[in-house]
């Protein structure tokens, strides 16, 4: 089973990102679950969301403590939490940043300026679809085509086009370090 932990802030779309990742996996014939964990429900507060993907039904219903991969939607969270805590061997940390942050596992890091891409494609700093493009490129967990289909299914016509552009641009601009 592959488990992904998303670190973000309320309003950035971490919960939606987990859901879209699982939808893309479902489109590939896999099983999945996505769910959030947060305290006070307010914009800007740190939140964590989780996704599990497997080839067989998933019965586990706990938080993800030892993720296969980690996604960081807000780089300021690197200063206040150990996002790589429990990361399994061979796991990749995907970070929304202009440059590689220090203190993360070398050789297991993917960096993309998801905020810049979101501003460019969506006109708003909602980084979830851009970061998913980076996750797909870095981990090959789901294909770009499946991710594009999931995003297209989730968003309305006008929003789908912009979010699909964010996915594609981030996929191309992701740096694997």
Q: What is the pLDDT confidence band of residue 61, given thresholds at 50, 70 and 90?
A: confident
84 contacts 112 by C-beta, under 8 angstroms: no
> Looking at residue 40, what is its pLDDT?
59
The Cβ-side half-sphere exposure at 51, using a 13 Å CA radius, reads: 27
157: its two tokens:
């016509």
Q: pLDDT tens, 140-177?
A: 999 999 999 999 999 977 799 999 999 999 999 999 98
Q: pLDDT tens, 16-41?
A: 999 999 999 999 999 999 999 866 56
Average pLDDT across the chain, whole number = 93
* pTM of this prediction exceeds 0.85: yes
At residue 59, the 3 state secondary structure works out as: coil
Strands 2-9, 109-112: parallel, antiparallel or unpaired by DSSP?
A: unpaired
Which helix (H) or strand (E) segment is 154 a member of? helix 144-154
pLDDT at 42 over 80: no
CATH number of 2-176: 3.40.920.10
């Amino acid at each position: 089973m592959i488990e992904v932990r998303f670190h973000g802030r309320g309003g950035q779309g971490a919960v939606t990102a987990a859901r879209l990742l699982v939808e893309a996996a479902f489109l590939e014939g896999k099983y999945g679950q996505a769910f959030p964990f947060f305290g006070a429900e307010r914009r800007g507060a740190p939140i964590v969301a989780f996704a599990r993907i497997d080839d067989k039904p998933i019965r586990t219903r706990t938080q993800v403590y030892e993720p296969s991969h980690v996604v960081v939607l807000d780089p300021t969270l690197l200063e206040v939490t150990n996002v790589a805590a429990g990361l399994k061997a061979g796991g990749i940390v995907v970070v929304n940043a202009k440059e590689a942050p220090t203190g993360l596992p070398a050789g297991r890091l993917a960096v993309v300026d998801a905020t810049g891409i979101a501003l460019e494609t969506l006109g708003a700093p909602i980084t979830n679809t851009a970061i998913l493009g980076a996750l797909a490129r870095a981990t090959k967990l789901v294909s770009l085509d499946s991710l594009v289909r999931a995003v297209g299914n989730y968003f309305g016509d006008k929003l789908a086009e912009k979010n699909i552009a964010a996915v594609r641009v981030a996929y191309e601009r992701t740096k694997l370090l």
